């Protein structure tokens, strides 16, 4: 039943899934010319999880994370009115991943759609779901971020293969009239060339070496880095101004786990201590749209979040260029 006053949704359940196989920096140093010291210093990453081709797909990882989130929420899945899955690396174009998740968790009363917004996919899906909740169309939503990014990593390109990992995370949102929530999402498609991956399935395109390389993640790392350290603090500051809060009022800033130095730079710009910026990048690498819900799940398991009394800002950025920030309580 819809609440009498349509409201934004509180996170009432979180779950995540990480593949078992760990690839360390030393493992990578056997494949490309790199070393643990360089990767650690430049990115903060020590290891990442790599999907098992025998059993892990974006679909299977999304399903596992979603099942764990629904279990954590302790709800009847029939209450879920909306399932949104963010993925930029779906193993099937259709049926869409959200329909597979809907079937697997028995969310038989839910509508479904997928969101492809690259790394900020989870934040985009979260904000979209929140607007469905606020409109009164649904009362409970399941939002998932799932990525099998290493399928698109060129393990001959040391500037990208060190960064990415696989995994999935999910949240259940339930309308709560008392919840504080606001969000700002931005895009700059005119600046999108610096991060690109082309589809293999394009009729009329000859499978030349250049074309085959374009089917992997291609990135101008420095340009993406500069974009992130400039725009992420700006969108957070704009959001805080709009909600009449200051950075000091926020307990935790949950940022996309792309590079430790980007997170440190944002903390400095916002004049906040780094311990307000929890990180797991050391162990997961950049899992794109899965990074934020995986981190939220870890923080809930550690008892840091999940009691409903912490003010947080979530912010992500990536290909598009797309970026945004959410302010809420958890």
Q: Which of 148, 218, 256, 259 is catalytic?
A: 256
Binding site for ligand UT7 (CB under 6 A): 34, 38-39, 42-43, 119, 158-159, 162, 219, 221-222, 224-225, 228, 258-259, 286, 318
| Dist. CA 228–CA 226, nearest whole Å | 5
C-alpha to C-alpha distance for 108 and 79, rounded to whole angstroms: 9
For ligand UT7, the closer CB: 119 or 138: 119
Say which residues have a Cβ less than 8 Å from residue 74's Cβ, sequence separation at least 6: 12, 13
Q: Give whichever of 112 and 123 is closer to ligand UT7, judged by the CB atom.
A: 123
Residue nearest to ligand UT7 (CB): 221
Token digits of residue 98: 């959200």
User: Is 256 among the residues known to form the active site?
Assistant: yes
Q: Which is nearer to ligand UT7, 102 or 284 (CB)?
A: 284
Q: Taking the complex as a whole, how short is the minimal distance between the CB of residue 159 and ligand UT7, in angstroms?
A: 4
Does residue 286 have an active-site annotation? Answer: yes
- How far is Cα 141 from Cα 298, in angstroms, rounded to an integer? 21
Based on CB atoms, which residue is closest to ligand UT7, 6 or 221?
A: 221
Catalytic residue among 112, 119, 161, 171: 119
Give the CA distances from residue 60 to residues 21, 92, 249, in Å, rounded to whole numbers and listed in that order: 16, 11, 38
Pairwise CA distance, residues 189 & 223, whole Å: 14
Q: How far is the CB of 232 from ligand UT7 (least distance, A)?
A: 10
Whether residue 257 contacts residue 279, with contact meaning beta carbons closer than 8 Å, is answered with: yes
Evaluate whether 110 touches 103 at the Cβ level (below 8 Å). no
Active site residue 259: no
- Sequence length of the chain is 330
Q: How far is the CB of 311 from ligand UT7 (least distance, A)?
A: 25
Query: Residue 266 CB, nearest distance to ligand UT7 (Å)?
Result: 12
Active-site residues, by number, are 119, 256, 286
């Amino acid at each position: 039943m819809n609440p009498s006053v349509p409201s934004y949704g509180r996170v009432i359940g979180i779950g995540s899934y990480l593949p078992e196989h760990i690839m360390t920096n030393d493992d990578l140093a056997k494949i490309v010319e790199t070393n643990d010291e360089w990767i650690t210093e430049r990115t903060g990453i020590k290891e990442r999880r790599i999907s098992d081709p025998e059993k892990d797909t974006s679909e299977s990882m999304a399903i596992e994370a979603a099942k764990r989130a629904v279990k954590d929420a302790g709800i009847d899945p029939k209450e879920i009115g909306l399932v949104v899955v963010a993925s930029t690396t779906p193993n099937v174009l259709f049926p869409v991943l959200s329909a597979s998740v809907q079937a697997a968790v028995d969310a038989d009363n839910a509508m479904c759609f997928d969101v492809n917004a690259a790394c900020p996919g989870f934040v985009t899906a979260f904000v979209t779901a929140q607007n469905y909740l606020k409109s009164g169309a649904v009362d409970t939503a399941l939002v998932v971020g799932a990525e099998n990014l290493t399928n698109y990593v060129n393990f001959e390109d040391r500037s990208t293969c060190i960064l990415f990992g696989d995994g999935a995370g999910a949240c259940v949102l339930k309308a709560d009239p008392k919840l504080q929530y606001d969000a700002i999402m931005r895009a700059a498609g005119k600046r999108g060339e610096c991060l690109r991956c082309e589809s293999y399935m394009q009729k009329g395109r000859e499978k030349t070496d250049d074309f085959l390389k374009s089917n992997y993640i291609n990135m101008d790392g420095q340009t993406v880095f500069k974009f992130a350290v400039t725009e992420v603090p700006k969108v957070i500051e704009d959001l805080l101004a709009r909600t009449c809060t200051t950075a000091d009022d926020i307990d935790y800033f949950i940022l996309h786990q792309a590079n430790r130095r980007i997170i440190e730079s944002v903390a400095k710009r916002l004049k906040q201590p780094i311990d307000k910026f929890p990180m797991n990048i050391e162990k997961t690498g950049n899992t794109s749209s899965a990074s934020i819900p995986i981190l939220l799940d870890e923080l809930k398991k550690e008892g840091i979040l999940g009691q409903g009394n912490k003010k947080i800002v979530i912010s992500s950025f990536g290909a598009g260029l797309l970026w945004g920030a959410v302010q809420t309580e958890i």
